[in-house]
Structures are given as structure tokens and as C-alpha cells.
Structure 1
């Protein structure tokens, strides 16, 4: 991410309801002008984070910091934050214009400025000319556009979006994903988007926080999260994964399904038990003689732009493969992949442990290289 001004921080934020821990010592930092996504299953704590930012909830411990000031006890109405909800939450007794004008009118803005603001926001969400429409005359997608326009009319520094697209059909969701990203870039406002849809998160975000059980499992760019999952939960939740047990014999050499394979991972202990991840789209079929593994095609299904094929190796491991050409059920074929397609994970490793391991490994390598250079010079 590009360096920019920090707008929000959570410092060891925790939230409990009685004996139930909802959030566990959350640390996060948001820069101004970025599109962030909180991604995770139901009950993971992502919507709770939005409520702590908006002021609907107060933390049990830790600090919520906005523009450098602790806002734990700041009332919701005094926060420069607006929220777009899944159920739109529009005023059914008001038309489109009055819904969008509601916030500016509360701020006592002059009516000519309100009219200018409403027209600007409706143009932004592609609803120019809808000012006099009743809310119940609009489709679901149009109502969500009005909700977005109403939130943006308040000029928030931070816009929170709590699964705003989940009630819409797939095609409309795709359209609004693109429009939301365009709006965010045009206005330069920080967006915090909540979803359980990993495809949506990967398509829209600058930065993703993957959550489960009240903990941030991993954070990073969409590419980081997808290509380098730190643990089994992230690997399975973000996209499809083939995960098999293995042994990291040494740096860049892993043993699984009875064979040794070169790879690009390092920093494990010699002969450490690990989990090996291979994404379905990184696997290809070839002849049994040329394959790194030999598998039997068990079943397949057509997914539109690819075939999803299930194949079984001789150790009874099931491999999911995504290819553009169909296979033949019962056929014996080779399975091939490149060293960089193999991703190695330690069992139950946290993101902090993952980062610390890589950092220590890089420092050890730098020291060894420095020592070698020194010996060479003295020779």
C-alpha cells in the first residue's frame, strides 16, 4: 500500500458480552483513502468492528483512535463516519431527494447547497432524474444506490459498508462492486467493507483483514492473502485449496504423497511436519509418464469458463483441478505443477509467528552472507 495519512487505529481492542469474547485484542491500522475489507464467516467479529468504529458499541478494553484522538466514549452522532447497511434503512415516507437530503438538512445546510449536493450524489450513483421517485418504486439495486448517496451526502471521512450487496442478485452485485470501487477512488474516502464473500473481497479491496473467532487471522493485499495464506483457515476460506500433510526436509525441498518436490519456501526446521497447499488452478493434466503425480479422474462439473475436476492419487488423496478442457471419468492421467505453485504452511501458525519466522530467516541469511563475504575478503 502507498504511504498515506493514518485515519483509524485499533490498539489491543477487545469486546466481551458477559463470558463471551467477541473480539480478542484486535490491532489494526487504516490509512486515508484506501478500500479495506473485513472478510470472514458469520460470527467472526467483522460487523462488531464496524459498530465499534461507528460508536454503536464501546470496547471492553483497548483504544479506538480516530485522526489521532481516542474516541472510545465519543457519541456516534459526533463521529465523522456513516454506514451503509444490507437492508438499505431508507425512509419509506420520503422520496429519493429527501432521503439523500436528510443528513445535510440536519446540519442546517442552506437549501441551494443541499440541492447541489443531492444532484451530485445521485449523479455519482447513476440515479440522476430519480429525485421525485418514491422509495417503494425502486428496485433493490436502486434502493442501495440511494442508501450510498445518502451516506456520502454527509461528507464522511470514513464510510462503513455492512454487507451492502448481499441481498442483491449475482449480476447486480458484480455491477455495484465495480461502481463502489469507482466511487471510492473518485472521492478518495476511506471505505471499510464487510463481507463473507471472498470473491467480492479479492475484487474490490486494497487491503483485506481475514477474521475468524474474533481474531484477525491474516491481513494483506488480495494477492498476499491468496498466494501466501498463513494457516489452514485462510487457505480454505480464500478460494479453493488442495491441502495435504508433508515434511519440510530442508529449505526449498518438501516431501508429500511419497515424493520429494522442489519449492520456493524456506525458514522451517529440518524435517518439520507441515501442510502443503496447491491451488486447483495451478494444477495441469499431462501424460502419466510426465506427471509429478498420477491420478484417476473421479468426476467433473462444468463451471462456465472452466471444468472443476476431482481426481484421486494412489494414496487416496482427492485433488481438485480447474482446467479449460474436459477430462474422461476413470482415465489415469499425470498431474503437474511448478515449484512456485507449492505453498508451505506450519500447523496453526499465526500471522505474527509467520512474519517473525520469515524475518528471523532473512536475518540469519544476511548474517551468513556477511560472514562469507568477510572470509572471502580476508582470503
Structure 2
């Protein structure tokens, strides 16, 4: 049974100095899920966060919280808290007082403040650091203080604006696990903003891919990765081999001059399309056993696989991920299954894409 949305955006448009930043953005967020808004810098993802938080007003459209319009509700009246990229901690206050700041503004009594702050310190694994000064903390500890300060106010929803971007790679990965575990334990709605596709795939229940102020595709991490809707999504999320092709008929596509069985349907006969094959889905084999023949150009050891770059006779570049090395200059075959081929229509919108999938999946 589908839950009622905690937040809904309906046809949100926003323009600044004549430039349209958001273009007819609509989506719903259910309570208790981890959502990610994924896109490059300048795509509009942080603007959406600011609209939900109340820091920016849309030019048109409605923002609903639990079914009630909140367009004109100030940020401090919304049951939504925000964690910023720079943490926005008070350097003149210690850890305890930073976390307690919002409770003091609400004029909570001393015993309640102490109890709730201590609960948060335990929750974010900062017990024993209540008196520590902010400038004495590591980046990860500052991140935890920022999270605790937001959660202590019992928000219904938490907005996180690229909060891990300042951390080193190992700590960033550790904090991904911690944030995901924390969200699941608390059961509140998270909306996480990032440009890092690996971060989005690892942490999210549901992803919105945004570019140029438009939501291009939304779905689970598996859906987004396995069934990208267009060139941008396929290229932005994960590594992709993308070539031009023709949809001969349902479940048959032509590319690099050959017909291949595939798992896609619902397009016009002989319609021009783009074809995606993920590098990890390509297997190197003998030339006689391969569906394609390529010549190896370069290869790089990535730790758990070799990244191999090869070219076919039409000079299409093919990236292959293999656990076994090959030889530079070698001519090899490439194998793949029909399910590994993903066919994308030019200019297809998400609504049409979803409807087409339903027609042949049924």
C-alpha cells in the first residue's frame, strides 16, 4: 500500500533575472524513505532543496506538506531541517551548545534540553565530546554535530545539501553508511543532494536525476542504472558505451551494421535510436565466438578489474571491464546477452518511457 506523500511539489517553476532555474518540476516524497536529488553543478538540485525548506520562493507552482500548501510558510514554521555543505556550526559554542541551540530558542527547560542533547550525542556517536570546542573536531565529527543539531528538533524531514563533499574519500564512504543507517533507524524522510552518482546509488531508496532545471528520470537505483532514459542519464550514472542504432522491430535492434536480439519493444519499425551497453556486461572472448570484433588500444588496472579501451572497425570506442588482462593491440571478440542491450529513444519523456515499458512487460 502506497503511503501518503509527506511533501509534494506541483509544477514548480522558478526564474531569476529572466533565467529559468526550475522548469515545471513535480514529484512526491513518501514518509520514511531516503531520496537523492542527483545532478551536475548548476542543474537546479540545491534550488529545489531551498524551495522545500522555504529559503527560496518559486515563481509558480505549489509546495504541499502533508497535503497542505506551505508556499508562504516561513522556514522556522516548517517541520523540515537542513544540513548545509559547510555545516554552519557556531565556532564560539561547544558541541553541547551547538546541538542545544534550537531547543534554547524554543525556550525548552534545562532538564529537557540536557536529556535530548545527550540522546543525540549518543545517537551520532559523540558521547563524551559535549564540552569539546568546534575547532577541535575532525571533519567527520563536525558533520555529526550538524546532524545532531538538526535531529534534536524532531523534524519530519531532513534536507542534506552535499554534506559529505568536504570529507576525504574513506571518511566520506564511512559517513554514507552512517547516514543511511541513521535514516533507517529514525524512519524520517531524507532528501540528499549530490553530484556523486556512486553516492546516490549506494545510499538511496529513490533517485531523481536532474539537469538544466528538469527532472529527467526518477526511480530506484537499480531502475535508473539498468534503464536510463536518455544519453545524459546513461552517461552521468555509471560508465556507458553508447552507439547509434536502428530499432528494426520489437526485440531486434541494429547497431554497428548488425542485428541483435534485445529486450526492448514498443517503438516504430526502423526508428533511429541510441544503444547502451555497460562495460561490466561485456565479456572478452575469441574473435570467432564474439558478437563484435574489436582491437584493444589501452588497459588500466583499477584494483578489482582491468579497464580496457578497444575500437571496432567503424572506430566506435568500447570500454570493457574485465577481471583478466589482455594484450595491447590484440584483436578480440566481445560477447553480451540480449538483456545487456538497452535501447533509448530520442527525446522520450519519462511518462512515455514508463508507459512503453508497461506495454511489453505485461
Q: Same fold (TM over 0.5)?
A: yes
CA distance in 1: counterparts of 2:237 and 2:136, whole angstroms: 38
Offset from partner CA, 1:32-59 (integer Å, 9 cap, x none):
0000000000111100011001110111
The answer as to 2:18 corresponding to 1:36 is: no
Aligned to 1:251: 250
CA distance in 1: counterparts of 2:310 and 2:294, whole angstroms: 6
CA distance in 1: counterparts of 2:347 and 2:316, whole angstroms: 21
Offset from partner CA, 1:276-315 (integer Å, 9 cap, x none):
0000000010001100011111001111111111011111
User: What is the DSSP-based 3-state SS (H/G/I as helix, E as strand, rest coil) of the residue aligned with 2:276?
Assistant: strand
User: What is the DSSP-based 3-state SS (H/G/I as helix, E as strand, rest coil) of the residue aligned with 2:190?
Assistant: strand
**TM-score, length basis structure 2:** 0.98
Aligned to 1:109: 108
Pairwise CA distance, 1:91: 0.3
User: For residues 43-192 of structure 1, what are the structure 2 equivalents within 5 Å?
Assistant: 43-192=42-191
CA distance in 1: counterparts of 2:214 and 2:346, whole angstroms: 17
Aligned to 2:195: 196
Pairwise CA distance, 1:111: 1.4
The answer as to 2:12 corresponding to 1:13 is: yes
**TM-score, length basis structure 1:** 0.94
Aligned to 2:284: 285
Offset from partner CA, 1:342-378 (integer Å, 9 cap, x none):
000001222122123334x45xx98xxxxxxxxxxxx
The answer as to 2:319 corresponding to 1:320 is: yes
- Over aligned residue pairs, what C-alpha RMSD do you find? 1.1
CA distance in 2: counterparts of 1:47 and 1:353, whole angstroms: 27
User: What is the DSSP-based 3-state SS (H/G/I as helix, E as strand, rest coil) of the residue aligned with 1:289?
Assistant: helix
The answer as to 2:276 corresponding to 1:274 is: no
User: What is the DSSP-based 3-state SS (H/G/I as helix, E as strand, rest coil) of the residue aligned with 1:63?
Assistant: strand
Aligned to 1:299: 298
Unaligned stretches of 5+ residues in structure 1: 367-379
User: What is the DSSP-based 3-state SS (H/G/I as helix, E as strand, rest coil) of the residue aligned with 1:28?
Assistant: strand
Aligned to 1:205: 204
Offset from partner CA, 1:75-124 (integer Å, 9 cap, x none):
11111111111101000000000000111111122211211111111111
Unaligned stretches of 5+ residues in structure 2: none
CA distance in 1: counterparts of 2:140 and 2:4, whole angstroms: 33
Matched positions, count: 362
Select between 263-272 and 346-355 the one with higher mean Cα deviation. Answer: 346-355
CA distance in 2: counterparts of 1:115 and 1:307, whole angstroms: 54
CA distance in 1: counterparts of 2:326 and 2:37, whole angstroms: 38
User: For residues 362-373 of structure 1, what are the structure 2 equivalents within 5 Å?
Assistant: 362=360
Select between 116-125 and 269-278 the one with higher mean Cα deviation. Answer: 116-125
CA distance in 2: counterparts of 1:55 and 1:318, whole angstroms: 46
CA distance in 2: counterparts of 1:35 and 1:185, whole angstroms: 8
Where does structure 1 differ by over 6 angstroms across 4 or more consecutive aligned residues? none
CA distance in 1: counterparts of 2:243 and 2:116, whole angstroms: 56
CA distance in 2: counterparts of 1:183 and 1:146, whole angstroms: 14
